[in-house]
Amino acid sequence: MIVAGFGFRGAATVSSLRDALGRTGGASRVRLLATASDKSRTAAFRVLAAELGLPTEGVDSAALAAQPTQTRSAASLEARGTGSLAEAAALAAAGPGARLIAARQISADGMATCALAEGRDG
């Protein structure tokens, strides 16, 4: 299963999220959208999930902090304890043994990031 993990600012729009996802190059293969638990209830994230017809998962802070990330954002480290919320959310939601298949991509407006991870089940 391919999971799209997201990190985004409070003012991010659905277009911001959609753009970040599109920049990963694998949007058509995604089966689940994930982000931090508190962000999973935001309107933009919910609207994107509805548009794509995909389920969502909120990932708790301990699971996010436990994930190794390829990229490092100082803001993400300070706020979330992980180098990339997008990468950590994708990996955590994809399950044990997941691997990153698209590192964090940033939307053109700089408001959202997205990364893709693949679970062991493919």
pLDDT, mean of residues 40-46:
97
Whether the model pTM is above 0.85: yes
pLDDT, mean of residues 89-95:
98
What residue has token string 């490092």?
72
CATH entry 3.90.1150.10 includes domain 2-115: no
How far apart CA 37 and CA 105 sit, in angstroms, is: 20
Asked if the model's pLDDT at residue 75 lies above 90, the reply is: no
Q: Are strands 30-36 and 56-59 parallel, antiparallel or unpaired?
A: parallel
How far apart CA 119 and CA 102 sit, in angstroms, is: 13
pLDDT band at 122 (very low <50, low <70, confident <90, very high): low
Asked if the model's pLDDT at residue 40 lies above 60, the reply is: yes
